[in-house]
Amino acid sequence: MISLEERITKGMDANSVCLVSGGGKGITAQAAIAVARQYQCKFILLGRSSISQPEATWLRDCNSELELKKRILEHLLEQGTKPTPVMVQKEYKAITAKREIEQTLREIESAGGKAEYLSVDVTDETALAAELAVAVERLGSVTAIIHGAGNLADKPIEKKSELDYDIVYAPKVLGLRNLLSCVDPSQLDYLVLFSSVVGFYGNAGQTDYALANDILNKTAHLVKRDHPHCRVVAIDWGPWDSGMVSPQLKQAFAERGIETIPIEVGTQMLVEELATPNQDTQIIIGSPLTPSAIAIDPQLKSYQIRRRLSIAANPFLLDHVIANRPVLPAACAMSWITNSCEQIYPGYKYFGCQQFKVLKGIVFEDNIPQEYILDLTEITKDRDQIEFEARIWSKNQAGKIRYHFSTQLVLKVKIPDSPQYESLNLTPQPQQVIKNDFYQSGGLSLFHGASFQGVQKILNCNEEKITIQCSLPPVASQVQGQFPVQTFNPYILDVQIHSLWLWSQYLHQQICLPSAIAHYEQYASIAFGETFYVSCEIKSKTDTAVVADVIAHKQNGQIYSQMMGARGTIISLPPG
């Protein structure tokens, strides 16, 4: 009897029996061949195409598409049939499918594996169970499943039919259900689900495909929870560099910054994933699916977006409490504006803003939801850039309007390359390096809670400049509430401002609160958990205000973002 620990650490070997849906053709077939080369195991390949009949003699020594279709046309005419392009194409696909499946079987055998092909629809549970039972008698019990079956029916959602939905949904979702009905998951050492980045990011024209693939992702987590011995992984593949990707489509992907996956690279990554002990249950292999910029109406438009905010809906507010009252960070106001503009114009990305002002901050006196309004007015727009005027406001109990934040925001189709920070100085000054006491430790420490505690150390500090090292641990999505991280991360932006607060407090014993930013540009986002550096150059200081340039950059000086003319209002601490 194999113990649970042995089941978890046991790898695939020559005795493994791998059931592969959609495994006779295409990328899934190539994946099966790569696994066969690595493990010389046994395979049961499933597909709807039939290979039972021998190829007709009139097709021998004919391989080119043009010649094949010519012979098909001639054969149909000889039979007295009036051929149509659809009839010829259908026959051509059947012939080439049979040839590809037979080639897959030969390559698995030459790699040292053993394979059988079952012509069965994975959505037909009764037929699947019957066919599978016979194959299992010959090859042994299934110990691994690779579920690669799938179909596409891409078109705008308003043009999709129920049939389109069924064509896409059934092989992915019903197919997986049937596989796990015919094969007890408790006997599996591996369950690999071929999902798609579309299920994670979404994609225009693929609503049903995104839904089906995300169900695979969620199912992977459920199976892993119930069968911890099994190596379960849903792989969200990006587009493959295969025959399905035409040169025109590949060019379209390139314009969106999406790289295709070479077959030999992708299949090798699958093999390596199988060799990895229980790790992540869902992984992404491929570039993020960034939408193409939509065609824009040249007429300038205005929008009004209403949102009810409360402490309960935004737990991060409990980490941003000033004078015993939760206060909305200015960075979160910028995030609301940014996310809204990007949603109005998919494919356009946030580049920056200017004249950002804190007019009257949003303070939460209690947990009663309060309505706030975001007004967006387009100032200019063309195919490359859109600029908005934005204001966030509300009404008090007397019905009087209160303006909270305002700015001018810029979206671009293509973000400029990141510049280099020329005044880089990461040399530590030991007498000034302070660790682990920046937050909530009394005195001059910062008030921020866990969602904003990203400063790791002060590297150097003088009257002209402060340089800090930062890394902000992930903020859970439920904590982010109504201000989720998208292309803009308000929690990390808030951390960048801490450089100016630390400079004011350590050198001048003064508290500094944000009031304005003259100009802000973002070239690249910073991920949670990523180490980054902030160089804060002091431009001016008076008794009431301090102005600085705040540059976030990599260790090599490549700039993530730069905040020029960041202004803070100074509040002096009481003596003692």
Q: SS3 string of 346-388?
A: CCCEEEEEEEEEECCCCECCCCCCEEEEEEEEEEEECCCEEEE
Q: How many CA atoms lie within 13 A of 136 on its CB side?
A: 14
pLDDT at 1: 44
Residue 193 has pLDDT above 50, yes or no: yes
**Range with lowest mean pLDDT among 31-35, 51-55, 250-254, 340-344:** 250-254
Q: What is the mean pLDDT of residues 15-41?
A: 96
Tens of pLDDT, residue by residue over 323-337, are 899 999 999 999 999
Q: Across the chain, what does the average pLDDT equal?
A: 91
Q: Which residue has the higher pLDDT, 83 or 43?
A: 43
More confident residue, 156 or 374: 374
The per-residue pLDDT for 349 is 93
Question: Is the pLDDT assigned to residue 431 strictly greater than 70?
Answer: no
Please report the pLDDT score of residue 10 as a whole number: 59
In the structure, what pLDDT confidence band is assigned to residue 512 with cuts at 50, 70 and 90? confident
* Better-scored residue on pLDDT, 447 or 444: 447
Has residue 400 got a pLDDT over 80? yes
Average pLDDT over residues 222-251: 85
Alpha helices in 393-541 (DSSP H): 477-480, 490-508
- Residue 347: per-residue pLDDT: 85
- Categorise residue 34: left if φ over 0, alpha if ψ from -120 to 50, beta otherwise: alpha
* pLDDT band with cut points at 50, 70 and 90 for residue 295: confident
Q: Answer yes or no: is pLDDT of 440 > 90.
A: no
Per-residue pLDDT band at 245 (split at 50, 70, 90):
low
Residue 5 has pLDDT above 60, yes or no: no
Taking phi over 0 as left and psi of -120 to 50 as alpha, with beta for the rest, 170 belongs to alpha
pLDDT at 574 over 60: no
Query: Could you give phi then psi for residue 190, rounded to 5 degrees?
Result: -140, 140
Contacts of residue 431, defined as CB under 8 A and 6 or more positions apart, other chains included, come to none
- pLDDT band, very low/low/confident/very high, at 244 (cuts 50, 70, 90): low
Q: pLDDT (tens digit, 9 = 90+) per residue, 247-267?
A: 766 776 776 778 889 999 999
Average pLDDT over residues 533-548: 96
Would you place residue 441 in the very low, low, confident or very high pLDDT band (cuts 50, 70, 90)? confident
SS3 string of 255-289? HCCCCCECHHHHHHHHHHHHCCCCCCCEEEECCCC
Lowest mean pLDDT among 99-113, 246-260, 464-478: 246-260
563 burial level (CB within 10 Å; 0-12, 13-18, 19+): buried
124, pLDDT greater than 90: yes
pLDDT at 482 exceeding the cut of 50: yes
The mean per-residue pLDDT over the stretch 182-195 comes to 96
Residue 576 has pLDDT above 60, yes or no: no
Cα–Cα distance, 425 to 283 (Å, whole number): 37
Query: CB of 234 within 8 A of CB of 148?
Result: no
Would you state the pLDDT for residue 39? 96
Say how many C-beta atoms besides its own lie within 10 A of residue 344's C-beta.
17
Q: What is the DSSP string of 36-74?
A: HHHH--EEEEEESS---SPPPGGGTT--SHHHHHHHHHH
Mind listing the pLDDT tens digit for each residue in 382-397?
A: 989 999 999 999 998 8
Domains and CATH numbers, the chain: 4-52+91-285 (3.40.50.720), 293-576 (3.10.129.110)
Neighbours of 280 (CB within 10 A): 14
Q: What is the 8-class DSSP label of residue 243?
A: T
Q: Which residue type sits at 434?
A: I
For residue 243, the model assigns a pLDDT of 60
How much is the pLDDT for 248?
A: 67
Q: Is the pLDDT of residue 11 over 80?
A: no
The 3-state DSSP class for residue 196 equals strand
pLDDT tens digit string along 153-185?
Answer: 988 888 999 999 999 999 999 999 999 999 999
Let me know the angle formed at the C-alpha of 182 by 180 and 186, rounded to the nearest 5 degrees: 55
What is the rounded CA–CA span in Å between residue 530 and residue 330? 22
Over range 101-110, report the average pLDDT: 97
Between CA 567 and CA 444 the distance in angstroms is: 20
Average pLDDT for residues 354-380, to the nearest whole number? 94
